Structure 1
Amino acid sequence: MKYFLKRAGFMALTLFAACALTFFLMNVIPGGTAELIIKHTFVGLEESVTEEQIQQISSRYDLDDPLYLQFFRWIKEAVLRGDIGTSYVFKKPVLYLLALRLPATIELAGASMALSVLVGLNLGIYSALRENRISDHVLRIATLFGVSMPGFWVALILILVFSLKLKLVPVSGYGSLENLLLPAAALSLHSVAAVMRVTRTSMLETLGQEYIRFAKAKGLPVWRVISLHALKNAMLPVITVIGFQMGSLLGGTVVIEKIFAWPGIGSLLVDSISARDLPMVQGCVLAIVTMFLLVHFFVDMLYTHLDPRIRYG
C-alpha cells in the first residue's frame, strides 16, 4: 500500500509539473493569445484584428489576469470539479473533445506497440540464435538504420513508395485496416529496432547460462528451451525498453497523426498549439502524460510477475 501511495503521489506531481510547464511555455510564445484566437475562429488568418476585438476576447477568457492566477484557477477547476476547461476554438468541453479523439490515438499506439513487440522480439531471438552469422549482421545493420531514421522521414518514404508509386494503400484516412498500416509502420520502426537490440543482447546472456546448457543436454527441442526457459528470464530488460518505447510512441503520434491526417490527440494538439487554444493544449498534454505514466506503472507490476524476487514495499 505504501508503494502504491508513493507512486500515486509521484504521478500527481508529474502531471502538475507537465501542466505547469506547458501552460507557461505556451504563454511565452510570441503573439497575443487573444489575437490568435480571433484569427482562428472569427476573422481568418490573413485579416487584421481590432483592439476592441482583442479586449472582448481577453475579458471573456480572463486573459488579462496574471499568468499564475490563470494557472491556479485552471488547477482549482480541474481538481475540485473535474473540469479542465472549454476549447477556445471549438467552443466545446475539452473532456468531450478528448473522448472523441482518444480512441484513434489508442488504436494507432496499440497497433504500433503490438507490431514492435511481435517483430522486435522474434527478430531479436532469431538474431541471438544466429550470432555472428550473415543474417545476424544484416539484422544488426538494419537496427542501426531503424533507430537512426526520424519518424516523419520514414512516414514520407512509406507514402511515396506504397501509396503514390505502388498504390497499395491510401495516403491518409481513418476507419479501416488499410488506413492503419502505414501510420503504424512509420511509428513502430524505431521501437522495433530498439526492442530487437535489447532482446538479442538479453537472449545471448541468458543462452550462456548453465541451466540452458543443461536443458539442451537433456535433448529438449530448441523451441522448448527458448519458450519455456530462456525467454522468460530474458524478458526483464525487454519489458523495460518496451515501456519506454510506449512513451515514445505516444509522443510520436503528434507528428505521425498530422502527416497521415489521423484524427487522434496528436493532430488535435498540433492544431491547438497553432491556434493558442490553451485549454485544449493542456488537455492533450494531460492525456498523453497520464497514458505514459500508466504504462510505466503497468510495466512495474509486470516485473513482480516475471521475477518473484522483486517486491515493492
Structure 2
Amino acid sequence: MTKFIVKRVLTMIPVLLGVSLLVFVILSLAPGDPAVIIAGDYAEEAILEETRENLGLNQPLLVQWFNYVKDIVTKGDFGISWKTGKSVTESIFERFPTTVLVAFLGAFFTAVLGIGTGIVSAVRQYSIWDNLATMIGMIGVSMPNFFTGLLLVFVFAQRLKILPASGNSGWEYYVLPIITIAFSACAGQMRMTRSSMLEVMRQDYIRTARAKGQSERKVVMHHQLKNAMIPIITVIGQQFGILLGGSMIVEQIFSLPGVGKLMMDSINYRDYPMVRGSLLLLAFGFCTVNLLVDIAYAVVDPRIRSQFAKTKKRKAKEEAA
C-alpha cells in the first residue's frame, strides 16, 4: 500500500508539469500585451521594453516556463502579482481557506443528502419517493450553478430578505453559496447511488442475507451500501475536485473572497502570475483528492486490500526463491 501511494505521488509530478506548461502556452496566446496593461496605453516604447525585461517577457516561452518551475521547486515561489506587487503564494493562501470551506461543506452536504436520497430511492423503487427524487435530480442536473445562485439570491435575499446576498462576515453568508454548489452535485450523487444500489440489490448474496433472517436495515446498510461504495466514492472525490475549481462562479456571484474570484479578477487584469499560481494550486488539489479516493477504495473494499496483500506475498516468494 505504501509503495502504491508513493507511486501515485510520483505520477502527480508530470501531471502538474504538463498543467503548468499548458497554462503558459494558453496565456501566451491570449490577446493583449501585459506590458501595455501594466505601463499604460500611452507608455513610450522604451518603458514598455524595460517592463518586458523586468517581467521576463522578452525571453522564449520555454525559458520562461523553465525559470518559473525552477523557482517553485527551489524556492516555493510562484512569482509576484503584476497587479498588486504582492507575492502570489501569500495572496492565494490568504483566500484558499474560503474556497476549501465552501467546497468541503458543499461536498459534505452533497454526500449526505445525495447518498441518503439515493438509498431511499433505490429501496423504494417506483414509489412516489423514487419519482420525486428522480424529478428533483433531473432539475438539479439541468440547472447550471450561475442560474441556481441568481435564483436563490432573488428569492431569499431580495424577496424574503432572510439571507444576505453577498459577503463573508458570518455563517449566514455561506448558506446560499453552499446550497448553490450542492444542488446540482447532490442530484448527480443521488443518481449514482441509486443506480449502484439497484445493481447490487440483484446479487445473490443479498438474497442469501435476507434468507438468513437479517434485518432489512442491516441488509441495506451493511451488504448493499458497502458493496456499492466504490462508484459512490469516485463521484464524491470527483465532485470535491470539481467544486474546488467550479466554485469560482459561485464566489463571483456571492462576492466571496476565494481563489476562484481572485483568478477571475486576475484574468480580467492579465495578471498571469496570479492565474498560473491559482490554476496550479487547483490542479494540485484535484490530484490530491484523486489520491485520497484511491486510498479510500482500499479502506472500504477488502478485495482491493487483498490484492495488495497478494502482490506483496508473491514478491516475497519470488525473492525467497
User: Fold conserved (TM > 0.5)?
Assistant: yes
Instruction: Tell me the alpha carbon deviations over residues 239-298 of structure 1, each in whole angstroms, 9 at most, x when there is no partner.
Output: 111111112211211111111111111001111111111111111011101110111100
* Cα distance in 2 for residues equivalent to 1:274 and 1:183: 23
- In structure 1, the gaps of 5 or more residues are 40-46
**In the alignment, structure 1 residue 23 sits paired with structure 2 residue 24:** yes
Q: Is the Cα contact below 8 Å between 1:188 and 1:249 reproduced in 2?
A: no
Aligned position for 2:82: 88
* Cα distance in 2 for residues equivalent to 1:253 and 1:221: 42
**SS where residue 309 of structure 1 aligns?**
helix
Aligned position for 1:185: 179
**In the alignment, structure 1 residue 248 sits paired with structure 2 residue 242:** yes
Instruction: Tell me the alpha carbon deviations over residues 97-136 of structure 1, each in whole angstroms, 9 at most, x when there is no partner.
Output: 1110110011000010011001100100010011012221
**SS where residue 92 of structure 1 aligns?**
coil
**In the alignment, structure 1 residue 143 sits paired with structure 2 residue 137:** yes
**In the alignment, structure 1 residue 6 sits paired with structure 2 residue 7:** yes
Q: Is the Cα contact below 8 Å between 1:35 and 1:54 reproduced in 2?
A: yes
1:132-211 alignment runs, 5 A limit:
132-211=126-205
Aligned position for 1:109: 103
Root-mean-square deviation (Å)? 1.7
Give me the TM-score of the superposition, normalised by structure 2. Answer: 0.90
Give me the TM-score of the superposition, normalised by structure 1. Answer: 0.92
Aligned position for 1:278: 272
Q: Is the Cα contact below 8 Å between 1:163 and 1:170 reproduced in 2?
A: yes
- In structure 2, the gaps of 5 or more residues are 312-321
**SS where residue 85 of structure 1 aligns?**
coil
Q: Count matched residues.
A: 306
More displaced, 225-234 or 185-194?
Answer: 225-234
**In the alignment, structure 1 residue 300 sits paired with structure 2 residue 301:** no
* Cα distance in 1 for residues equivalent to 2:146 and 2:240: 17
Instruction: Tell me the alpha carbon deviations over residues 18-62 of structure 1, each in whole angstroms, 9 at most, x when there is no partner.
Output: 1111112111111101122345xxxxxxx7444344233222212
**SS where residue 236 of structure 1 aligns?**
helix
1:49-60 alignment runs, 5 A limit:
49-60=43-54
More displaced, 239-248 or 283-292?
Answer: 239-248
Aligned position for 2:228: 234
**What residue identity is the alignment partner of 1:14?**
V
* Cα distance in 1 for residues equivalent to 2:229 and 2:42: 59
* Cα distance in 1 for residues equivalent to 2:43 and 2:121: 62
Q: Is the Cα contact below 8 Å between 1:37 and 1:277 reproduced in 2?
A: no
Q: Is the Cα contact below 8 Å between 2:5 and 2:291 reproduced in 1?
A: no
Aligned position for 2:314: none
* Cα distance in 1 for residues equivalent to 2:188 and 2:14: 29
More displaced, 213-222 or 156-165?
Answer: 213-222
Q: Is the Cα contact below 8 Å between 2:16 and 2:280 reproduced in 1?
A: yes
**What residue identity is the alignment partner of 1:110?**
F
* Cα distance in 2 for residues equivalent to 1:242 and 1:206: 19
Aligned position for 2:120: 126
Aligned position for 2:56: 62
* Cα distance in 2 for residues equivalent to 1:74 and 1:119: 43
**SS where residue 172 of structure 2 aligns?**
helix
* Cα distance in 2 for residues equivalent to 1:5 and 1:224: 37
Instruction: Tell me the alpha carbon deviations over residues 74-95 of structure 1, each in whole angstroms, 9 at most, x when there is no partner.
Output: 1111112221111111211111
